[in-house]
Amino acid sequence: MLLGLEGVRLSFGGVTALDNVDLAVRRGEIRAIIGPNGAGKSSLINVISGVYRPDRGHVLIGGHRYRAVPTDRLARLGVARTFQNLALFKGLSVLDNVVAGRAHTVRSTFLGQIARVGAARREEADARDRARRILAFLDLEHVAGRLAGTLPYGLQKRVELARALVAEPEILLLDEPMAGMTATEKQEMAGFVRATRDAYGTTVILIEHDIGVVMELSDRIAVLDYGRKIADGTPEEVRADQRVIDAYLGVVPENEDGAGI
């Protein structure tokens, strides 16, 4: 197990966001978290990434147990994430946005970075080289010099993925990476997520509302409802789970002859 949650509970005032949630994530899998709005999915991601400190329970990353994940060490722990809402520097180029994902690797002094000499110059060259390789991987080379804010929404979401990937994470947290995309853009993004796992061995934790994409892309799925985990298994197991059907997926009613109506 590369990452796990043990008995995590999180509340805001009198509202319980996560209630005794356990989760195990294996190295190299695409692990989806689904559920209705307000089920606790984003809260779970925020606990893993250290944005929220749980009231109870622990997060396990790479064999280390944390009561609260240190956000200032997240990248060094091998974890990167994207957000529901775009968090790009829209006035910077696509390339510079992706280079920013290497900030945690900087070791040179502030003065050295300003003067761009010695170690600072080598670090900048290395970051730009890695950024260009990731842009090529995600088919973004043709927009590397454009301001991020001028790109169509679907490409901006892909740039955010690039910025996360350039950090070379072991664990990638994707919070609704396909929200607001067209069907074609969703399929393209799903292909890039799968390629990321296959090419780099990256473990992916995915929150996504498009159930068709989730069922096609994921190795295993955990289902939350009102902060509780109500199911956990393969896409086939989750799709057939009556608790999931009742809480989230829904079912087409049948007439007396058993035929769908």
Contact 90, 153 (CB under 8 A): no
With both helix axes pointing from N to C terminus, report the angle between 153-165 and 118-137 in degrees, rounded to the nearest 10.
130
Helix (H) or strand (E) holding 16: strand 15-25
Please report, as a single letter, which amino acid is at residue 38. Answer: G
The domains found in the chain, sorted by start residue, are: 1-70+210-261 (3.40.50.300), 87-152 (no CATH)
pLDDT at residue 96 tops 70: yes
- Three-state DSSP class for 77? coil
pLDDT per residue over 206-245, tens digit each? 999 899 999 999 999 999 999 999 999 999 999 999 999 9
Mean pLDDT, residues 9-15 taken together: 94
pLDDT of residue 252: 39
